Amino acid sequence: MKIVLIGYGKMGKTIERLAEAQNHTIVGRIDLDTTEDQRMSYYTDGDIAIEFSHPDAAYDNITGAIKAGIPVISGTTGWLDKLQAIQSLVKETSGSFLYASNFSIGVNVMFAMNEKLAKIMNDYNDYEVSVEEIHHIHKKDAPSGTALTLTNGVIDHLNRKSKWSLSDSDADTIHINAKREGEVYGDHLVRYTSTIDTIELYHTAKTRDGFAQGAIMAAYWLFNNGKTREGIHSMKDMMGLD
């Protein structure tokens, strides 16, 4: 694949290292100093764009790439209030887009297990559910996109919960405890607790490589050997988790 990197921070550099080791080619690196002419030249040369930029820039970055006719893999969080507009644009342009709050294969397995567990816990009202996440001090958004995906996965399948909060813990509210510590790559915990025991789903990321490798795998799946899969997709689609 010929990849355009949108955002060239720590994640962009990790994707570059792993992609080149797998004989993919980075044809462009888009950051704040990239001109519009350079950007369009990269899109012309590339097969697919992988976007890990900044919450404030993600919408414009993704919109520009889709309008240029290049498939987009996006992993930036903190901008999802505009996700529906991106999805509409993809439909209007017959584009190709895959978004994930987390590209780690392990985390996406956790997402599937989380939804299954929430369905089971509908029958056990004695258990209170909470979510906790820990990330490095440089992370811009809180709670993390992964924590929100986990929380919404519970809300979608656990009838007694309908919303989340970083502070409140009412009967119908899931409390999310968002911590920022050191250089932690990402720890996520879903906990069900009662007076007699506790059930936990927990994932810890040891390096950024898992996120980057998952993004490359998703890009290769979307690229589909040159027969791009049109429409709006997810890691569930790529991993066959539905």
Residues with a known catalytic role: 135, 139
CA dihedral 14→20→21→22, nearest 10 degrees, is: 110
Angle at alpha carbon of residue 30, lines to 21 and 238, rounded to 5°: 55
Question: Distance between CA atoms of 234 and 230, rounded to whole angstroms?
Answer: 12
**Other Cβ atoms within 10 Å of 49 Cβ, number:** 28
Question: Distance between CA atoms of 224 and 210, rounded to whole angstroms?
Answer: 21
**Which whole-number Å values give the CA distances from 3 to 6, 51, 163, 198, in the listed order?**
10, 10, 38, 45
Return the bridge partners of 155, or none.
Answer: none
Find out whether 234 and 98 touch, Cβ atoms under 8 Å.
yes
Q: Is 69 left (phi over 0), alpha (psi -120 to 50) or beta?
A: left
